[in-house]
Amino acid sequence: MRFHSVSSHRIYQKPRTYLLAAGMFVTILLIALFPGDSSSREHAIFQQFTQHIGKQIHKDKQAFARANNCVSWFYKKAKTPPPPTVQGISWNRTLASQLDIDCPRDYPGGMDEARDDFSKTQSVLSVSLTFYEFALVADRNDDATYSPTELQDLFRCLSLPYRQGDPTSKQAAALTERFDNWYRSRNMDALMQGMSDLYERGYRVTPSDRVELDRMMG
């Protein structure tokens, strides 16, 4: 009876051992084929890249609005008579009063200086907005994540070397540095060439991209 019990225990133990080994093998295979952090790291690259550009757009919009308001303010000062001493109270008048302080201080050279700054701020805002559009278009399926293929195409169209094994931080830094360099030099030609390269690879501005661009420009 003792021999029968031990033999029976071994018979039932072997299938469980095989099942355990097979389960571990499948788990290891799935991890190798579909690493758990792949999607999160590609999402992180998209987020860091677009947020970096977005912060610059916000600054550019503020600078552009200031220049635009002061150009209008100088024009009105030159073309309209001074307001009467007694004025009604309104929010618009409060804004005008603030411009009375800000514009002469920010543009001591007057209308000409304000116009020059208007042209400059318009130019840099155009670069940052176009770069943002580029970053959105490179996300081909609008899932806020750069797939390995999308990321490789993005790097190539920005004339950057791409190595899939590089850490997330290094890849994100390469993209943001490229933006900073082309932004400072206002290298719109290189940016438009990169956009053209994306289009040749089948990328397009999607309705979702247009909604996001409108939100960013608003």
- Count CB atoms within 10 A of the CB of residue 11: 9
Average pLDDT of the chain?
82
SS3 83: coil
Beta-carbon contacts of 58 under 8 Å, excluding residues fewer than 6 positions away, are none
For the whole model, what pTM was predicted?
0.74
The confidence band for 95, taking pLDDT boundaries of 50, 70 and 90, is: low
Q: Which residue has the higher pLDDT, 7 or 209?
A: 209
Tally the C-alpha atoms within 13 A of residue 51's C-alpha that lie toward its C-beta. Answer: 9
Of 120, 155, 119, the residue nearest 134 (C-alpha): 155
What is the pLDDT, as a whole number, of residue 2? 44
Task: Report the pLDDT averaged over residues 131-153.
Answer: 96
Are 134 and 191 contacting, i.e. CB atoms less than 8 angstroms apart?
Answer: yes
- pLDDT above 60: residue 28: no
What is the pLDDT, as a whole number, of residue 92? 46
Among 1-10, 26-35, 165-174, name the most confident range: 165-174
Helix (H) or strand (E) segment spanning residue 153:
helix 148-157
- pLDDT above 70: residue 16: no
Task: Report the pLDDT averaged over residues 105-117.
Answer: 95
